[in-house]
């Protein structure tokens, strides 16, 4: 005759994600929006009409970075030592419907199931972010809203032309 009641807030969700590091932050990307991960040589990246396409098995995909999509505080930016500068970029290819975008990241941290909490419940809604999570070590992980990221990158690309 024991009755257990489990109450879960409707504002929480558990989502399988790819964890990446960009500068000093950890970000998560919903795993179902990640088409693939590629390593691209810096020598293969060329600028054409203010954007950088990369060739992934014969398909040209626009390459962007978090700095180009979001307006970051420039105090965070650090110029890496040219000796320690990587020769390849880790690029996460995002796919949503017919839209495809490559985002360069500093480090791939693996995949994980995270409990996602909405940002708009406790803070202001931030365009391009769909929520946040506290990792096991106490670090805050922000989840990218891939549909919004794709829209923002297309807007940035359109304004550059």
Beta strands in 118-160 (DSSP E): 129-134, 140-144
CA distances from 154 to 33, 64, 71, 157 (A): 17, 10, 15, 5
DSSP helix/strand/coil, 11? coil
pLDDT per residue as tens digits for the range 3-21: 998 876 666 678 899 999 9
pLDDT per residue as tens digits for the range 21-46: 988 789 999 999 999 999 988 888 87
pTM: 0.78
pLDDT of residue 76: 47
Tell me the pLDDT band of 161, cut-offs 50, 70 and 90: very low
Mean pLDDT of all residues belonging to the chain:
82
| Residue 130 to residue 24: CA distance in whole angstroms | 19
Cβ neighbours for 157, distance < 8 A, ≥ 6 positions apart: 50, 51, 62
HSE at residue 66, side-chain half, CA atoms within 13 A, is 26
pLDDT per residue as tens digits for the range 110-131: 999 998 887 776 677 788 888 8
Across 89-116, b (16+ Cβ under 10 Å) vs e yields: bbbbbbbbeeebbbbbbbeebeebebeb
CA distances from 18 to 9, 54, 112 (A): 24, 21, 7
Cβ neighbours for 118, distance < 8 A, ≥ 6 positions apart: 11, 130, 131
pLDDT of residue 77: 46
* Sheet with 99-105: strands ordered across: 34-41, 88-96, 99-105, 59-65, 52-56
Tokens representing 17 are: 């994600």
pLDDT of residue 73: 59
Tokens representing 131 are: 């929520």
**In terms of Cα–Cα distance, which of 22, 156, 19 is closest to 89?**
22
DSSP helix/strand/coil, 30? strand
């Amino acid at each position: 005759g024991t009755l257990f009641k489990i109450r879960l807030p409707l504002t929480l969700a558990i989502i399988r994600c790819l964890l990446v590091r960009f500068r000093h932050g950890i970000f998560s990307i919903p795993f179902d929006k990640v088409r693939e991960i590629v390593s691209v040589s810096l020598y293969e990246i060329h600028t054409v009409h203010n954007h950088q396409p990369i060739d992934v098995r014969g398909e040209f995909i626009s390459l962007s970075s978090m700095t180009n999509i979001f307006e970051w505080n420039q105090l965070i930016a650090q110029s890496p030592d040219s000796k320690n500068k990587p020769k390849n970029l880790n690029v996460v290819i995002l796919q949503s419907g017919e839209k495809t975008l490559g985002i360069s990241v500093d480090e791939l941290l693996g995949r994980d199931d995270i409990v996602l909490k909405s940002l708009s419940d406790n803070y202001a809604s931030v365009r391009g972010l769909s929520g946040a999570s506290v990792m096991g070590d106490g670090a805050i992980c922000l989840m990218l809203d891939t549909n919004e990221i794709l829209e923002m990158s297309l807007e940035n690309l359109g304004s550059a032309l």
